Amino acid sequence: RLEILIESRPEMLALETMPDTEEVEVLLDLLTEFNVGIPFWVSFSCANELRTNAGQFFADAALLVAGHSDAVAVGVNCTAPEYITPLLQSAGNELPFVVYPNAGNVWDAQNNVWIGGKGSAFGDALLNQWGAAGAVIVGGCCGVAPSDIGALALP
């Protein structure tokens, strides 16, 4: 699949919702092996304010990505908004950050429903924190509505 994608010569690759640095390491090795030369970012899904969903430190994950010459950013997606600021602050600024959190809802497996909707996914306070931590691209993932994204737009 990667070969087919590369043959289409995209301008950029977004490798998203990566839970595990071991998987990312394999992808980075393949990008190097194929001498792709296409700019990319990797975004990780994270379980809390320090770790990926696979339990590795996000700071280590960010360093792994920053070590690849074609990486232009590293980030966090499909993660609760309240975890984004500490994740970014833990990671240093070797690369710019991309962030597109989910709405912060939690899956209730017993009742098969999402709970915890807080209306707008994130406000100015979080956006300012993310910008101060080095985020240059901000968007939304699961549960973030078009109106939430519209509220992010500059006047």
Helix (H, G, I), strand (E, B) or coil at 31: helix
Question: What pLDDT score was predicted for residue 115?
Answer: 85
Question: What pLDDT score was predicted for residue 119?
Answer: 52
Name the band, by pLDDT with cuts 50, 70 and 90, for residue 149: confident
The residues facing 107 across adjacent strands are 114
CA-nearest of 99, 65, 96 to 82 is 99
Distances (CA, A) of 132 to 89, 92, 96, 124: 9, 12, 11, 12
Domain of 45: which CATH number? 3.20.20.330
Name the band, by pLDDT with cuts 50, 70 and 90, for residue 116: confident
The pairing of beta strand 97-100 with beta strand 106-108: unpaired
Question: Contact, 38 vs 73, CB < 8 A?
Answer: no
Q: What is the pLDDT of residues 8-20, one digit of tens each?
A: 889 999 999 999 9
Six token digits for residue 27: 């992808």
Domain span including residue 140: 2-152
Q: How many domains does the chain have?
A: 1
pTM greater than the 0.75 cutoff: yes
Q: What is the pLDDT of residues 47-104, one digit of tens each?
A: 999 999 999 999 999 999 999 999 999 999 999 999 999 999 999 889 999 999 998 8
CA-nearest of 17, 92, 87 to 49 is 87
| Percent of the chain whose predicted confidence (pLDDT) is above 70 | 95
